[in-house]
Structure 1
Amino acid sequence: MERFKYSNVIKFDVEKFDGKINSGLWQIQVQDLLTQGGLCKALNGKPIPKNLIEVIAAQRTDDDEEEYWEDLDSRATSGIRLCLTKNVLANVVGKKTAKGLWEKLESLYQTKSLSNRLYLKERLHMLKMNEGTTAGDHLGSLNGIVLELESIGVKVEDEDKALQLI
């Protein structure tokens, strides 16, 4: 089976995740990076045959498929790790697959705990536009916090967003 080979011609610059920047936006950038490299499907884990016919059919190309999958998963895992700072990498060093690594990062940095919700709500309500900050940068900060809140299931009303812009 011939597979399309992706070329790494385009250089992407993704800020390394340090646990302090917006994890939701960082994940979007890393998913885009993996997609450009043809590696994004590794985040879903290795496909499992659903029935006996698929298992029998899979046995014919098992070696090629296994080698392909291991290469894809290894490159995706490597790509994610290269987008982490050393202190964050130390927290996920035992994860060997892209899916396992991705899920561990989500559990560490996108938790729906009360303390995380309170922390993000406090960041939202304490957000002020500093002198010298452009309106676009301030709006970007606001939208980033709102995105993080929504990623953990907290709905931010338009009225609350508007109040933060005043």
Structure 2
Amino acid sequence: MSNTQVYLLDKGLFDYLDGTIAQPEDATAVSAWQCEDRKALAAICLAVEPSQRVHVMGTETSKAAWDALSCQLVGVSLSQKCRLRKRFHSLNLERGGDVVQHVNDLKNLHEELRQMGEEISDKDLAMTLIGSLPHDYF
């Protein structure tokens, strides 16, 4: 689950993304719905990298923005996955390097791969981490 999804869950706005809370038919309820939906839309737009905002520009609801971003993620190419997996497996801690930062970098790559649909088991993550450490650690 992404940080944006967690934030929207916390604020009670997640159900606007998937259409669970759809725009009401009743004209008096529309204004309140739009107010909450705009909060969700703003959170999505703020979480998107500036280079990716083109995909949400012009969307009028949080669901439309989320759907537009989802379409982009579905289009992740095999070459992008391969490049990221190569970075994951070739990451090495330099002698004297910051171990905490190295572990965070590896976990971030792991999470990016997971979000692209590439599952790496905890065992593989641990083996990759151990293999990435300098010989001084053994």
Normalising TM by the smaller chain, what interval? 0.7 to 0.9
1:140 aligns with 2:104: yes
- Looking at structure 2, the residues matched to 81 and 31 of structure 1 have their Cα atoms a distance apart, in angstroms, of 12
What does residue 136 of structure 2 align with? none
Structure 2 stretches lacking a partner, 5+ long: 132-138
- Looking at structure 2, the residues matched to 38 and 132 of structure 1 have their Cα atoms a distance apart, in angstroms, of 45
- Following superposition, the deviation at residue 133 of structure 1 comes to 4.2
For normalisation by structure 2, the TM-score amounts to: 0.72
- Following superposition, the deviation at residue 110 of structure 1 comes to 5.8
What does residue 18 of structure 2 align with? 44
What does residue 116 of structure 1 align with? 80
What does residue 33 of structure 1 align with? 7
For normalisation by structure 1, the TM-score amounts to: 0.62
Identity of paired residues, percent?
27
In the alignment, is the contact (CA less than 8 A) between 2:17 and 2:66 conserved in 1? yes
In the alignment, is the contact (CA less than 8 A) between 1:42 and 1:76 conserved in 2? yes
Partner SS for 1:155: coil
- Looking at structure 1, the residues matched to 99 and 68 of structure 2 have their Cα atoms a distance apart, in angstroms, of 35
- Looking at structure 2, the residues matched to 93 and 132 of structure 1 have their Cα atoms a distance apart, in angstroms, of 45
Among 118, 123, 135, the alignment partner of 1:154 is: 118
| Per-residue deviation, residues 55-109 of structure 1 (Å, max 9, x unmatched) | xxx76xx123322221111121122212334322133212221112122223324
Give the alignment's Cα RMSD to 1 decimal.
2.8
Sort the Cα spacing of 1:44 and 1:159 in 2 relative to 1 into closer, same or farther, 3 A.
closer
1:80 aligns with 2:44: yes
Give the number of equivalent residue pairs.
130
Structure 1 stretches lacking a partner, 5+ long: 1-26, 49-57
Among 126, 150, 155, the alignment partner of 2:90 is: 126
What does residue 134 of structure 2 align with? none
Partner SS for 1:153: coil
1:93 aligns with 2:67: no
Partner SS for 1:82: helix
In the alignment, is the contact (CA less than 8 A) between 2:73 and 2:116 conserved in 1? no
What does residue 135 of structure 2 align with? none
What does residue 6 of structure 1 align with? none
Larger proportion of helix: 2
